[in-house]
Structure 1
Amino acid sequence: MSVKTIVPVILSGGSGTRLWPMSRPEMPKQMLALTAAETMLQLTAGRAMGDVFAAPIVVANARHADLVEQQLAAAGARPQALILEPAGRNTAPAIALAAIAAGRGREALLVMPSDHVIADVAAFHAAIERALPMVSQGWLVTFGIAPDAPETGYGWIQIGEEMAEGVHRVARFVEKPPLDAAEAMLASGDHAWNGGIFLFRADRYLEALAQFAPGMLVATEEAMEKARHEGVRIYPDATAFAASPDDSIDYAVMEKAERVAVVPVAMGWNDVGSWDALHAISERDADGNMHRGDGGGTVLAIDTKNCFVRSDGVRVSLVGVEDLIVVASGNDVLILPRGRSQEVKKLIEAMKAKPAA
């Protein structure tokens, strides 16, 4: 019996602090229009619409319920369920909630983070089509992103034997590697980045949890049994959900299960994990600049090269500088050299330790 319908599962619980000051806990990265006129959440929903796709299941932070509903309505993507987590417990429990909401059966779940870019949606859909026969047979499938750099910030997947056209057994998962190991994997040609996008049957995922993380399954089942329902909104029981281990799908299931496959794909994927990453995929002028004002913000750049400048309010003016990232949002302004935007997390930690007066 083949899988005929795919249920998109959109994970929208992240806070996106690496894109501070525009991304904040109350308005995280996936709710922002960073790469197009649509927000990242809307773009994610849009790439899983069509005859083969059912209405999505969205797992989000309870504080973002109104935002999620408003943005999906504007994108014409009314969810069949909006699961509102009482607390963040990582991806494995979040996906368990969605698998239970989907009916626990043979439904194919396409699990997607809400804050990634996929430039070539046709290539993504073709990869999904290649994966479906193996999914029907009960395999857990991940999509391996064709690497173009020795990234140390991503997990990697070693691509094993081909089992069907374009579908391979996973030889091993590799945690975020040191640079020399990443360079070797890139050069080998048989590794891919782990982009965190998955396709599998709901029943097979829950069976894997029962085998490898039974406490997580018990906690999420109880949380859904005791959940409060308001229309499409589902509020899992907070006490039961808090008892679930905090773990990613990679650690809890994918690295332990036997029948795990990977579909390598080049689809213009980017996790937009930093301002440098956003600059790299943005349209730039002849001097290598990306400058944009939103919501009344304006940017003026003279004799400026290779800079990324965004403002959603105040005017930002630059003269005679290069290789800077400048982001102004509300009362906050971020300035740092290009290439160091991952260090925003240091600022976040410092601000938590010493809040503004």
Structure 2
Amino acid sequence: MIIPVILSGGSGTRLWPMSRAERPKQLLSLTGAETMLQLTARRTMNRPGFASPIIVANTAHADEIARQLGDIGIDDATIVLEPAARNTAPAIALAALAADRDAQLLVMPSDHVIDKVDSFMAAIASAAPLCAQGWFATFGISPDAPETGYGYIRRGEELAPGVNKVERFVEKPDIETARSYVASGDYSWNGGIFLFTAGAYLDALGHLEPAMLAAATEGMEKARREGGRIYPDAKAFGTSPSESVDYAVMEKVDRVAVVPVDMGWSDLGSWDALHAIAPRDTKNNAQQGEVIAIDTTGCLLRTDGPLVAAVGIKDLIVIATGDAVLILPRGSSQDVKRAVEALKRDGHITLDRFTAAKAILGS
């Protein structure tokens, strides 16, 4: 059986002001009626060969995650609740320790879009036989532009139909380098989705990051369990180094395969990314909530609170909640981090909680 491991510990600050620490983007409905977490869980739900998921998440989100999974009919998930954020490598270690060593783990972020699920399933089926033999697999996204915000994977020799050995992982490039990668046809984006057995991952971690494995192991051995929820020991897990799975494991092990796949993927890493995949009107506007747009083109206009009236504007992002409004040019949405940094310096409530929004809206 393949166990979906859904990583749901992120804070999602790049989609502020709708995404906040109390309710990050994976718990929001951004692309449809269901939340990003629900859409992620649905990809493998009730499919032959897939077990119930393991969710690794922030303790503060435990009740909301259980509620959202229950709303789509998943009531047997294992929810591992991190006592402290230590990046993806330790989080996956917790999941691996909660599974049988021979089980294959399909590691997925909880906040990515995959429109072509059948293509994704076919890619998993291509990688699974190699992973059963101890290989690590990643799923390479077919690049459609010279994107500088993603890492890249250079594909090497073919190992099986549709599966290549990873020649090397490449850091986020500058624009000219990214153009050369796309033109060569030898590179894929690194989408951060992986497949490997729990045993292979733990063995690799023991060799490459023994302190991390020791902290996760002790944390799980001393964990408190309540039904399907696991609370690793905070003191033990807190000693773990903080590192991504890419740096800790994937870029250092020998047997790594990549399955290039066109699966309609987006990491929804910015408001620009949401505009790119959202339904748009004849004037290239994407709208949600109570919005009036007059002589307005190329804008993303979203509100979950007050009416937004846009008149005579072009290529802007306007995001309104009950207690905050974000306005910036399209193409510059990564600059949200500048607003977030200022909020952190000021200790402002809108970075974390919705209390002010509820008060203003009178709810």
The equivalent of 2:157 in structure 1 is 161
Q: Which residue of 2 aligns with 1:75?
A: 72
Q: How does 1:192-203 map to 2 (within 5 A)?
A: 192-203=188-199
In 2, Cα distance between the equivalents of 1:79 and 1:26? 24
Deviations along 1:30-72, one digit per CA (max 9) or x if unpaired, are 0000001110000000001212110000000000001100001
CA distance in 2: counterparts of 1:330 and 1:65, whole angstroms: 25
| C-alpha deviation, 1:151, in angstroms | 1.1
Cα–Cα, structure 1 residues 47 and 102, in superposed 2: closer, same or farther, change >3 Å? same
Asked if the contact 1:55/1:78 (under 8 Å) is kept, the reply is: no
TM-score for both structures, normalised by structure 2: 0.95
Alignment equivalent of 2:56, drawn from 40, 56, 59: 59
- Contact 1:83–1:236 (CA under 8 A) maintained in structure 2: yes
After TM superposition, the structure 1 = structure 2 runs for residues 132-281 of structure 1, keeping only pairs within 5 Å, are: 132-281=128-277
3-state SS of paired residue (1:141): strand
Residue 287 of structure 2 is aligned to residue 318 of structure 1: no
Shift >4 Å, 4+ stretches: none
Cα deviation digits, residues 71-99 of structure 1 (max 9, x gap): 01111123431000011100000000000
- Aligned partners of 2:221 and 2:233: how far apart in 1? 8
AA aligned opposite 2:36: M
The answer for the alignment partner of 2:352 in structure 1 is none
- The aligned amino acid for 2:121 is H
Report what 1:128 is aligned to: 124
* Superimposed CA distance per residue, residues 311-335 of structure 1 (whole angstroms, 9 cap, x where no aligned partner): 0010100111111100001210001
The 1-side partners of 2:227 and 2:76 are apart by: 11
Q: Tell me how far apart the structure 1 counterparts of residues 76 and 6 of structure 2 sit (CA, whole Å).
A: 10
1:240-276 deviation per Cα after TM superposition (whole angstroms, max 9, x unaligned): 1111110000000011000111100000000000000
**Structure 1, gaps ≥5 residues long:** none
Aligned residue runs from structure 1 range 82-93, under 5 A: 82-93=79-90
- Cα deviation digits, residues 264-323 of structure 1 (max 9, x gap): 000000000000000000010001001111xxxx11111111110000010100111111
Change (3 A) 1:61 1:288: same
Task: Please state how far the C-alpha of 1:113 moved relative to its aligned partner.
Answer: 0.1
Is the counterpart of residue 97 in structure 1 residue 94 in structure 2? yes
TM-score, normalization by structure 1:
0.96
Read off the aligned partner of 1:150 and give its amino acid letter. Answer: P
Letter of the structure 2 residue corresponding to residue 316 of structure 1: V
Q: Distance in 2 between matches of 1:259 and 1:139?
A: 5
For residues 80 and 205 of structure 1, what CA distance do their matches in structure 2 show? 21
Question: Residue 4 of structure 2 aligns to a residue in which SS?
Answer: strand
Structure 2 alignment gaps of length 5 or more: 350-363
What's the C-alpha RMSD, in Å, of the aligned pairs?
A: 0.9
Give 1:14's match in structure 2, choosing from 10, 13, 27.
10
Question: Are 1:351 and 2:343 matched, yes or no?
Answer: yes
Residue 314 of structure 1 aligns to which amino acid in structure 2? Answer: P
Number of aligned residue pairs = 348
Q: Distance in 1 between matches of 2:212 and 2:184?
A: 37
Asked if 1:106 corresponds to 2:80, the answer is no
Q: Please, which of 333, 336, 341 is the counterpart of residue 328 of structure 2? A: 336
Instruction: Please tell me whether the aligned partners of residues 291 and 308 of structure 1 are also in contact (alpha carbons under 8 angstroms).
Output: yes
Which AA in structure 1 matches 2:106?
L
Alpha-carbon contact 1:93-1:244 (below 8 Å) kept: yes
Shift, 1:133, TM fit: 0.8
SS at match of 2:252: coil
User: Which of 281, 293, 300 lines up with 1:285 in the alignment?
Assistant: 281
Distance 1:162 1:79 in 2: 38
Report the 3-state secondary structure (helix = DSSP H, G, I; strand = E; otherwise coil) of the residue aligned with 1:48.
Answer: coil
The residue type paired with residue 52 of structure 1 is G
Q: Aligned letter for 2:139?
A: F
Look up the SS of the partner of 2:23 in the other structure: coil
Alignment partners' CA distance in 1, 2:83 and 2:298: 42
In the alignment, structure 1 residue 327 sits paired with structure 2 residue 319 = yes
Asked if structure 2 preserves the Cα contact closer than 8 Å seen for 1:57 and 1:79, the reply is no
Give me the whole-angstrom Cα distance separating, in 2, the residues matched to 1:310 and 1:182.
31
Alignment correspondent of 1:300: 292
| SS of match in other structure, 1:42 | helix
| 1:31–1:39 CA contact under 8 A, matched in 2 | yes
